[in-house]
Amino acid sequence: MSHTRADRIARRAAIEAVASRQGNLIGRRQLYALGVTRSEVRAEIVARRWRRRGCQCIQVGDAGDATPYWRAVLEVGPTAVVDGVSALIFAGLRTISSAEIHIAVPQGAWYRRCKGVRVHETRRFREVDVVRGGLPRTAPATAAVHGALWARTDNEAALFVIASVQQGLVAVPQLVDAVALIKRDKRRKLLKGLLIDVSDGIESIDERAFAKVCRDRGIPKPDRQVVARLPSGRVRYDNYWGDVLVVEIHGAQHLDVAMTTRDMLKLNAASMDGRAVIQIPNFAIRTNPDPFLDQIESVLAARAYKPPQRQRKRAS
């Protein structure tokens, strides 16, 4: 660094100012741009005032929550942005974690590999989708869609999308725009279906999807949208197998406080009357309905359910 004490103080202040915006990390190229030499970097590390955090990152203060994300960006390269589920978690997504930090770079871009970081070289990279204030990351709607495309399973993909909407990180219109950009991918159909799941007025679509998976498994057809009167008021059961079983399909709208209260009251009432109650998240019908169908079959078999005889309509 500079030889005068005043210059050294000014230089260190400049370094700390840059690092403070980056999780107390600074890249080697940033240090060199500030006039710090390689030998001076080594001297600071040997003196344990700074710590090496990869081949490009130097830590000049205490690590914080943002430090791993900044390390990933600085290590991977200048075009790197945090994306997918990692961008959602950074934005505040709760109840979901990731063992790796997901980074996106434009297709064909040069980048470094980094331990604990998953780099996605993608043709879907658009600068308009990147938030540049602070940590470079994709906007939540884009991150939710990319996270779904990169997820290990359909169930995980659905969880990323639905949780993002339920927790208020992504508005449905933004999600619609982000999904519209996906022209070719094996999960395009799933994403289109998830748009329905997180929108209002989805009950009839859920019913058709549930009816199909039940029919494919040979499960007796239930009565649907059965109305009952409780002390709390009039309620409606989604799927109803007489005195044996009630199955409710839950979408994003069921997280509304008033609706959740009504749901609990009606399901409690069904249980108190001796019926088994099974609850299914609507995205599971698209991704992995079999465990729930196994439960339905088990209940119907254990209680020897027999479908009611349905009268045929006379031909006129």
- For residues 84 and 164, membership in a common domain is answered with yes
Any domain includes 313:
no
Name which residue leads in pLDDT, 146 or 203: 146
What is the model's pLDDT at position 191?
Answer: 92
pLDDT at 172 over 90: no
Each residue's pLDDT tens digit, 187-206: 999 998 888 777 754 455 56
- For residues 114 and 212, membership in a common domain is answered with no
- Low-confidence winner among 2-11, 20-29, 117-126, 127-136 (lowest mean pLDDT): 2-11
Find out whether 182 and 129 touch, Cβ atoms under 8 Å.
no
- For residues 41 and 73, membership in a common domain is answered with no
DSSP conformation class of 151: -
Share of the chain above pLDDT 70, in %: 91
Please compute the mean of the pLDDT values over residues 71-88 and round it to a whole number.
96
Any domain includes 312:
no
What is the model's pLDDT at position 205?
Answer: 53
Which range of 3-12, 63-72, 220-229, 258-267 scores highest in mean pLDDT? It is 63-72
Any domain includes 76:
yes
Edge to edge, what strands does the sheet with 51-52 contain? 25-27, 57-59, 51-52
What is the model's pLDDT at position 316?
Answer: 36
Listed in sequence order, the DSSP H helices in the chain are 5-20, 28-33, 38-46, 67-76, 84-91, 140-150, 154-166, 172-180, 188-197, 203-217, 257-272, 282-287, 290-302
Report yes or no on whether pTM surpasses 0.75. Answer: no
Q: Which of 197, 231, 252 is the last residue of a domain?
A: 197
- For residues 45 and 149, membership in a common domain is answered with no
Distance, CA of 251 to CA of 236 (rounded, Å): 15
Render 199-221 in DSSP notation, one character per residue. Answer: SSS-HHHHHHHHHHHHHHHTPPP
Any domain includes 277:
yes
- For residues 36 and 71, membership in a common domain is answered with no
Count of domains for the chain: 3
Any domain includes 13:
yes
Any domain includes 309:
no
- For residues 297 and 254, membership in a common domain is answered with yes
- For residues 138 and 213, membership in a common domain is answered with no
Any domain includes 171:
yes
What is the model's pLDDT at position 180?
Answer: 92
What is the model's pLDDT at position 117?
Answer: 96
pLDDT at 252 over 80: no
Domain interval for residue 255: 203-302
**184 backbone dihedrals φ, ψ, rounded to 5°:** -140, 115
pLDDT at 294 over 70: yes
